[in-house]
């Protein structure tokens, strides 16, 4: 359950917003959310909902509302949330289920990072906290006495969080962004001297001393005219220090640039804006420390991971390290490879894995482990690294999940394709990721290529035949110097021969589509290889019963291979419930 009171009252369950009933029923829920895990007496609930003149049946109405809420909040197989307790009701929530609780946790974390001299991380966490606010708290219950009392305290915490984020941005030298924001804030909160002080400081550090002093005069005028008060000691002292150009007010030394070994010259990531935003929001959360990108070969897991790491490095991280694991053949060597990427040297008398864990203990960084699928025995060491360094996050690309506690698994989809049953024009299809990628790569191979109304349908056909897989599209577009889009589409009947040459700078396993498939196939053991080959006879996909009845399943079962379908699916086909239909992620896999 996700309970939200930082805005209109909302409750979400499994991506669905629940209908919470009428105003009085929602008021009951709001009262319980304001004091979670603590009983609220019937007398107080009746007084807050109905005031001094409650109806005679108020207690009965309260019980009816509670009963409806109890049913609404009781998902099948879950615990009881709304319970009778000590002459009233109590709402039992788990950590993280209430947005205000998450806000308080992020606010405390951000303040701690700011006090310890880590403004980049503080700004990130405090922005996360502010993003939880969707408007005035409980705005749909405005006018209720308990709402007015609660929102005053909540608004103060919001402003404190906002000022902390501004302080972090000040330390990062983001002056030009802050000036217009602070001008708007002092207009909205003219009595808040701390905001005036931040405006004066950012103007002064921008080399605008006169404007900083004008801001003080404006603040004093507002305070005297509106409230009959002179500015407080802190604001008067700041004005005096600006007048004397106190050296202590000078901008702090620039933070050292983030450390990174990310490959240079990656170029633009095409068609992945939505995915990149979603992954960034995941990895920026404090409770997400291990994120694994899975998906079919050629789906673009590595490129997406690198773009995500690049974005985070620019904005919120002090260090990002990329560790390419494709050449490594033994899981026991993974600690040494990671240590080499981080420039951690082995010390006498201590194994390298222990040295690495000790070095990471007090660091905040992102570790990108690329192509871990053939080294799954090293997953235990990844877990040890996360336990050793609380500031360490790990982003993994793998064709199968690591099955570690706390792991978030995100399947990288194919690029978006235009509807195939609609007329194709250059304007209508160019906004789809698959088409945009093809057009960009085709222009790189043939500068005279352009997406036109005449070839739009053929380009869409090529992308659709390749199932929107970025690697396959790039390999096909590389032939644009020899073949038109229409000719490419005609030749895709023999898909793998056509896509047999790729960019020479690509890793060996990605230079051709066949090499990509071979890489995945060789990761399977004997029984799974057999299952994989036999499933190829199901040209239109399959449900679970047909393979079970076929020789395919019988042969695999006799081999006593544990969960034979699970690994095969993860190596290039969609994992589905037994009742659903499954197929290879791309028809290329059946070749």
Residue 253's pLDDT is 86
For 162-217, write each residue's pLDDT tens digit: 999 999 999 989 999 999 999 999 999 999 999 999 999 999 999 999 999 999 99
Q: What is the pLDDT of residue 333?
A: 94
The pLDDT value recorded for residue 490 is: 87
Let me know if domain 1-172 sits in CATH 3.40.50.200.
no
Identify the CATH assignment for 173-255 out of 1.25.40.10, 3.30.70.890, 3.40.50.300, 3.50.4.10.
1.25.40.10
Task: Report which of residues 590 and 371 the model is more confident about.
Answer: 371
What CATH number matches the domain at 271-402, 3.40.50.300, 3.90.78.10, 3.40.50.12280, 3.30.360.10? 3.40.50.300
In DSSP terms, which residues pair with 525 in a beta bridge?
A: none
The neighbour count for residue 236, using CB atoms within 10 Å, is 14
- CA terminus-to-terminus distance, the chain: 45
Report which secondary-structure segment, H or E, holds 10: strand 10-13
* pTM, to two decimals: 0.64
Split at pLDDT 50, 70, 90, the class of 369 is very high
Q: At CB < 8 A and 24+ separation, what contacts does 163-166 make?
A: 163/194, 163/195, 163/198, 164/107, 164/110, 164/111, 164/114, 164/122, 164/126, 165/110, 165/122, 165/123, 165/126, 165/127, 165/130, 166/198
The CA-atom distances, in angstroms, between 454 and each of 118, 262, 444 are 55, 40, 20
Cβ neighbours around 307 below 10 Å, total: 21
And the tokens for 402?
Answer: 């690591």
Query: Are the CB atoms for 520 and 533 separated by under 8 Å?
Result: no
Give percent above pLDDT 70 in the chain: 84
Q: Is the pLDDT of residue 555 over 90?
A: no
Least confident of 141-150, 189-198, 383-392, 524-533: 524-533
The lowest-confidence range among 228-232, 236-240, 248-252, 555-559 is 555-559
């Amino acid at each position: 359950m996700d309970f939200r009171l930082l805005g209109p009252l909302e409750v979400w369950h499994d991506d669905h917003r629940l209908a919470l009933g009428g105003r009085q029923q929602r008021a009951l829920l709001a009262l319980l959310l304001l004091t979670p895990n603590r009983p609220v007496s019937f007398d107080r609930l009746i007084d807050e909902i109905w005031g001094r003149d409650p109806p005679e049946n108020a207690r009965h109405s309260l019980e009816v509302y509670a009963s409806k809420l109890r049913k609404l909040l009781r998902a099948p197989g879950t615990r009881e949330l709304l319970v009778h307790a000590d002459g009233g009701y109590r709402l039992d929530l788990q950590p993280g289920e209430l947005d205000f609780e998450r806000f308080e946790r992020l606010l405390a974390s951000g303040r701690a990072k700011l006090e310890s001299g880590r403004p980049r991380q503080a700004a990130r966490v405090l922005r996360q906290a502010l993003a939880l606010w969707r408007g005035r708290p409980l705005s749909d219950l405005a006018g209720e006495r308990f709402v007015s009392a609660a929102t005053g305290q909540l608004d103060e915490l919001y402003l404190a969080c906002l000022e902390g984020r501004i302080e972090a941005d000040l330390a990062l030298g983001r002056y030009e962004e802050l000036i217009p924001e602070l001008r708007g804030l002092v207009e909205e909160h003219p009595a808040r001297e701390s905001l005036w002080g931040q405006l004066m400081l950012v103007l002064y550090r921008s080399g605008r001393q006169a404007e900083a002093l004008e801001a003080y005069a404006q603040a004093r005028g507002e305070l005297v005219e509106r409230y009959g008060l002179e500015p407080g000691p802190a604001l008067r002292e700041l004005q005096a220090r600006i007048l004397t150009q106190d050296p202590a007010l000078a901008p702090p030394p620039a933070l050292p640039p983030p450390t990174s070994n990310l490959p240079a010259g990656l170029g633009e990531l095409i068609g992945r804006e939505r995915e990149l935003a979603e992954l960034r929001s995941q990895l920026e959360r404090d409770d997400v420390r291990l994120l694994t990108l899975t998906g079919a070969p050629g789906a673009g897991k590595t490129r997406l991971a690198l773009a995500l790491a690049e974005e985070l490095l620019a904005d919120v991280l002090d260090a990002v390290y990329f560790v390419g694991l494709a050449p490594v053949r033994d899981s026991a060597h993974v600690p040494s490879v990671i240590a080499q990427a981080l420039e951690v040297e082995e010390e006498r008398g201590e194994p390298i894995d222990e040295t690495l864990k000790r070095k990471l203990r007090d660091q905040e960084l992102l570790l990108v482990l690329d192509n871990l699928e053939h080294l799954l025995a090293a997953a235990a060491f990844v877990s040890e690294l996360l336990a050793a360094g609380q500031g360490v996050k790990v982003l993994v690309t793998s064709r199968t999940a690591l099955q570690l506690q706390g792991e978030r698994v995100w399947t990288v989809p194919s690029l978006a394709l235009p509807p195939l049953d609609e007329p194709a024009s250059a304007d209508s299809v160019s906004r789809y990721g698959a088409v945009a990628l093809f057009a960009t790569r085709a222009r790189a191979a043939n500068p005279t290529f352009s997406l036109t109304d005449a070839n739009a349908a053929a380009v869409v056909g090529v992308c659709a035949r390749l199932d929107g897989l970025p690697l396959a599209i790039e390999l096909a577009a590389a032939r644009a110097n020899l073949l038109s889009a229409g000719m490419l589409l005609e030749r895709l009947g023999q898909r793998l021969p056509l896509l047999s040459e790729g960019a020479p700078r690509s890793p060996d396993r990605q230079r051709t589509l066949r090499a990509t498939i071979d890489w995945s196939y060789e990761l399977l053991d004997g029984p799974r290889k057999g299952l994989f080959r036999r499933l190829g006879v199901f040209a239109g996909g399959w449900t679970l019963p047909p393979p079970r009845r076929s020789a395919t399943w019988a042969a695999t079962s006799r081999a006593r291979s544990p969960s034979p379908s699970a690994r095969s699916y993860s190596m290039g086909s969609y994992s589905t419930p037994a009742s659903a239909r499954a197929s290879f992620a791309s028809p290329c896999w059946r070749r």
